[in-house]
Amino acid sequence: MLKDALIIMGKELKNIFRDKRTIFSTIILPVVLFPVMFGIIGLITKANEEAKAKAEYTLYIESTLSRPDELTKVIDEIHKVGNFEIVNDGVNEKAIESNSTAVGLKIGKNGDIFVATVIYNSVKEKSTYAAQKIREALMNLNSELVSAELLSRGINPEELNFVQVNDMVVGVSAENGNVEEAKAKGQFTQILAVLVPYFLLIYIFAGSMGLGIDTTAGEKERGSLSILLVNQVSRTSIALGKMLYLMLMSVLTSVLNLVGLVIGLYLEMSFLGEANMPFSIEIGAAGYVLLFITVILLALLSSGIIILIGSLARSVKEATGYITPIYMIVLLFGISTMQSEGSKAFYYYAAPFINIIFGMKDIFMGTFSVANFLTMFIVNGALVVLFVYLTAKIFNSEKVLEVTTE
């Protein structure tokens, strides 16, 4: 049976790779698309940030300060953080509303305390950026005034720290015990635990849909399924072969999509000067094996559902109508569990798809449980066997060749 199933799988793979468009869309496009897309986003973002930093801004000031030197201090601090043209004759709110590089500052004193109000247009990006710079300048001025006041009383500001907090990170390793490196690795692991299960779930199921519908309902419409069924091959072998083919293709496309996504994110962060994120996973050899098994289970489960429904449907249109709602439910599973941590209650690992998501999270977070993994494996393995059995039963039925053009 397995030999025949592998022959069926090979036939399907041979057919699919004859089509150059399929090769482009399943292998080349995923690896190229994300790097190009995120690279462009990174370049545009970098250019935008540089444009904001180099832009000339107009600052309308309305001051009630009694001493000219106090206003001079404020203006000097503002000039340190950006290129501002000072207009010291009141705040022109209409100009601020219409001009993307204009901001306003109302400043006075309440006793010994400076009281400032920054006026800007929150809809305009440059105006918002300029307002942030004004606030930065005012906070710098505040630090200088506090330090000067303390020094005038004979107090060294650096001696006012009564609590010192140090970090010690466990669970991840870092060269020479570098805390910042360990923290960065921990943050990267958290990102992986959130994004990888979600994207694998979506990529694998979505990647299975088109090919799965084509190899079942599509073959019905073209009449090639009837030719396959007249061969002296068991229906179980045909069902298993198609499922293995679909599993292999969905894993291939999902992995390539993830590779492209990681390369794209790295390019984007490189353009933004944030490429110091450690692109490494510390889950050990056992973790990689478990992750591989989990991905295969997810691909088999998705392929089994799609092959079963595609075999029941009488047309590509009908199969798409049946599978799309299931895809939306799977998508909901992915979204609802993105921020959840692993190691949930035992019954979570008995729920298809959800158990795979939490299983992946456990692997990344180091909270793996043998009992939970076995539950996940048994539940999903049983469902895959059931899908193969039901699909084989459908292939044995005369209704499998019923086709509708509606």
pLDDT, the chain, mean: 83
Give the least confident one: 112-126, 158-172, 321-335: 158-172
Average pLDDT over residues 296-305: 93
> Which residues 6+ apart lie within 8 Å of 380 measured at CB?
297, 298, 300, 301, 352, 355, 356
Pair 26, 71 in one domain: no
- Per DSSP bridges, beta strands 57-63 and 102-110 are parallel
Q: Is residue 238 part of a domain?
A: yes
Give yes or no for residue 343 having a pLDDT over 60: no
Q: What is the pLDDT of residues 79-95, one digit of tens each?
A: 999 899 999 888 888 88
Domain that holds residue 84: 55-160
Give yes or no for residue 170 having a pLDDT over 80: no
Pick from 1, 341, 381, 313: which is nearest to 197 by CA?
341
pLDDT at 398: 66
Pair 128, 153 in one domain: yes
pLDDT-derived band of residue 325, with 50, 70 and 90 as boundaries? very high
Q: What is the pLDDT of residues 172-224, one digit of tens each?
A: 666 666 666 666 666 667 777 777 888 888 889 888 888 888 888 888 888 77
Q: What is the pLDDT of residues 225-247, one digit of tens each?
A: 777 777 778 888 888 899 999 99
Q: Is residue 246 part of a domain?
A: yes
Pair 140, 276 in one domain: no
pLDDT at 344: 67
Quote the percentage of the chain above a pLDDT of 70: 88
Q: What is the pLDDT of residues 381-401, one digit of tens each?
A: 999 999 999 998 888 876 665
Where is pLDDT greater, at 260 or 161? 260
Pair 234, 88 in one domain: no
Pair 186, 122 in one domain: no
The last residue of a domain, from among 115, 131, 160: 160
Pair 65, 198 in one domain: no
Question: What is the DSSP code string of 74-140?
Answer: HHHHHHHHS-EEEE-S---HHHHHH-TTEEEEEEEEETTEEEEEEE--TTSHHHHHHHHHHHHHHHH
pLDDT-derived band of residue 59, with 50, 70 and 90 as boundaries? very high
Q: How many domains does the chain have?
A: 2
pLDDT at 105: 93
C-alpha neighbours within 13 Å on the C-beta side of residue 110: 2
CATH number, domain with residue 156: 3.40.190
Pick from 362, 405, 385, 394: which is nearest to 300 by CA?
385
> Which residues 6+ apart lie within 8 Å of 165 measured at CB?
none
Q: Is residue 173 part of a domain?
A: no
**Helix, strand and coil percent figures for the chain, each rounded to 5:** 70, 5, 20
Q: Is residue 169 part of a domain?
A: no
The pTM assigned to this predicted structure is 0.73
Give yes or no for residue 113 having a pLDDT over 80: yes
Quote the CA–CA distance of 125 and 109 in Å, as a whole number. 30
Where is pLDDT greater, at 363 or 277? 363
Q: Is residue 175 part of a domain?
A: no
Q: What is the pLDDT of residues 267-285, one digit of tens each?
A: 777 776 665 555 566 677 8
Pair 35, 59 in one domain: no
Quote the percentage of the chain above a pLDDT of 90: 23
Pair 39, 59 in one domain: no
pLDDT at 103: 93
Q: Is residue 49 part of a domain?
A: no
Pair 260, 284 in one domain: yes
Q: Is residue 48 part of a domain?
A: no
Give yes or no for residue 248 having a pLDDT over 70: yes
Q: What is the pLDDT of residues 156-169, one digit of tens each?
A: 877 777 777 777 76
Pair 203, 150 in one domain: no
The last residue of a domain, from among 131, 160, 189: 160
Quote the CA–CA distance of 224 and 243 in Å, as a whole number. 17
The last residue of a domain, from among 160, 188, 211: 160
Pair 132, 101 in one domain: yes
Q: Is residue 291 part of a domain?
A: yes
pLDDT-derived band of residue 406, with 50, 70 and 90 as boundaries? low
Q: What is the pLDDT of residues 121-143, one digit of tens each?
A: 988 889 999 999 999 999 999 98
Pair 312, 347 in one domain: yes
